[in-house]
Amino acid sequence: MTDAAASTPTTDAAAPTPVTDAESGSDAASATGMFRSLANFNARLYFAALLLSTIGSWLQLTATSYLVYRLTGKASDLGYNVAFQFLPMLLLGTWAGSFADRYDRRTIMLCTQILLAVQALVLGVLDLTGNVSLPVVWGLSLFLGVVGAIDNPARRGLITELVPVSQLSNAMSMNTMVMTGSRVFGAALAAVLVGPLGTGWLFVLNGISYAAMIYGIVGLRHSEMVPAVKRPAGGSPVRDVFRYVRSNRRLSSMFFVYVVVSTFAFNYSVVFPKLADVNWGSDDAFGWLMTVTGVGSIVGALVTARFPRVSLRWLVINVAVLGASNIAMAFVPTLLWAFVMCLPLGFGGAAMIASGNAISQQESPPDMRGRLLALTAVAFLGSTPIGGPITGLIADYVSLEWSMAYGGVSCFACVALLAWWWR
């Protein structure tokens, strides 16, 4: 990555120039406050719908971890499940970003949200009727991943049509806060409801929750939308975005951090069920651990949202916070201390995600936003098929503690390398 960052594009076309606040009009001066992007009706509607829908998604994610761990008792099987879910992002993510830059994002999202609802309802019915098995869960996770890979850049790219350019950084932080902060409610609901209802009804509830997102898309006021700059047909859109990242040192640094950290330090959902069961004596604590992590995530995203422009330094600071939290979390002696350490774990992770999303949009040309968002998702989520199984295998066959701690070590190695690179 360092060599790539130092190189320049080899095409005969010049790299596009990002749109700055000065070019976007006078709205930059009036956009202030932590929640400034919510002054727009479309942003309020969209994020409210997204919150309800992602609470359901976290409900399903937590319930799936409960289900898989209770089926086999192996962290490695949890790792394989997240690999199936996120492998399509690795393979299809950049193409999906090009697709989102070319076609109407609302139409794409309506189709994907319906398919995601169908996936959740099918999994729920199979579970409730006693026909669920590990291969069935893996197959449906793969389907979820394919649809999610197409949905992700369209969903995040649509945010660029809801607010002025000067508020994009804040809107991206709001998106991160909703996506990670909804874990507080979704994981807590799963922890409370999994006992009396079972996992099957949690999947059904998630299927129903997609109605909120569909309403949020249909209800957007077209007259208040910021016109999207569409990518022209033809050309080499995927190669163009890679060339642009290579030519931009801030972007190449950010993507290097995303790939390393997300591969090795963001797999605690794979480890938490077994850590809670073996080290802290409560396999039911998994949902509550995810809930407390979500509280930290909300704070991390909100703090990042305060910055008019997010710096690479802030991103690297939070990588260090995430690394220290991973190491501390691995060796805490009691469940109470685990809850305490979940707060900085969530803070560092969400602040890093929000920073990366903001930097990608600060540096992005208008017609490349969907592709850069997709590439960010590929770097963050597409690395999970590699890191998830590795983490699960370490937990089962090497050391349960070091399946968390090695991620923290990788964070500090990443920070040290960036410090040397930016000397």
Tally the residues of the chain: 423
Domain locations in the chain? 36-228+237-421
Burial (Cβ within 10 Å: 0-12, 13-18, ≥19) of residue 237: buried
Neighbours of 71 (CB within 10 A): 13
Average pLDDT, the chain: 82
Nearest to residue 265, comparing CAs of 223, 203, 323?
323
Check residue 5 and give its pLDDT.
37
Check residue 33 and give its pLDDT.
66
Helix (H) or strand (E) holding 189: helix 168-197
Check residue 149 and give its pLDDT.
87
Give the span between the Cα atoms of 278 and 63, in whole angstroms.
Answer: 19
Tens digit of pLDDT for each residue in 294-320?
889 889 988 888 888 888 889 999 999
Give the span between the Cα atoms of 124 and 201, in whole angstroms.
Answer: 6
Angle at 128 between CA 126 and CA 129, to 5 degrees: 65
Residue 360 has pLDDT above 60, yes or no: yes
Write the single-letter amino acid at 182. Answer: S
Check residue 124 and give its pLDDT.
95
CA distances from 288 to 62, 392, 400 (A): 10, 20, 19
32 falls in which pLDDT band (50, 70, 90)? low
Out of 3.30.70.3190, 3.30.565.10, 3.20.20.150, 1.20.1250.20, select the CATH number for domain 36-228+237-421: 1.20.1250.20
Q: In which residue are the tokens 């410090």 written?
A: 419
Tens digit of pLDDT for each residue in 153-200?
888 888 888 888 778 778 877 887 788 778 778 888 888 888 889 899
Least confident of 38-47, 224-233, 312-321, 400-409: 224-233
> 199-218 vs 105-128: helix axis angle to the nearest 10?
160
In which region does residue 395 sit, left (phi positive, over 0), alpha (psi from -120 to 50) or beta (all else)? alpha
399 falls in which pLDDT band (50, 70, 90)? very high
Report the first-to-last Cα separation within the chain, whole angstroms: 16
Give Cβ neighbours of residue 107 (< 8 Å, ≥ 6 apart).
Answer: none
Residue 129 has pLDDT above 70, yes or no: yes
Query: 327: which 2 tokens?
Result: 């190491």
Q: In which residue are the tokens 């099957």 written?
A: 200
